[in-house]
Amino acid sequence: MFGKPGKGGISGPGLKMDLNANVGLTFTPIEWGNEQKHILSAIPQGKSVFIRGSAGTGKTLLLEEINY
């Protein structure tokens, strides 16, 4: 079994990774699409939004940006 829910890392046979460790990763800025930009500009204006989409479309990432 690789990883356990609620733990701060992934482990298994021959594999251990601390998700809190600095491993020299670099990050590329996010290029938001027009719909995401529209949502990001509507929130500060006090407008209500409904975010939906298929798995992997970036809903959680967008919510994290809004929450930041």
User: Which of the four pLDDT bands, split at 50, 70 and 90, describes residue 17?
Assistant: low
- For the whole prediction, is pTM greater than 0.75? no
Sign of the alpha-carbon dihedral angle for 5, 26, 56, 67: positive
CA distance 1 to 22: 24
The fraction of the chain above a pLDDT of 70, given in percent, is: 63
Q: In this predicted model, what pLDDT tens digit does every residue of 27-48 receive, in sequence order?
A: 788 889 999 999 999 999 999 9
Residue 59 vs residues 4, 11, 27, 38, 49: alpha-carbon distances, Å:
23, 27, 19, 14, 12
User: Which of the four pLDDT bands, split at 50, 70 and 90, describes residue 60?
Assistant: very high
Instruction: Write the DSSP string, 8-57.
Output: SEEEETTEEEETTS------PPP---HHHHHHHHHGGGT--------TTS
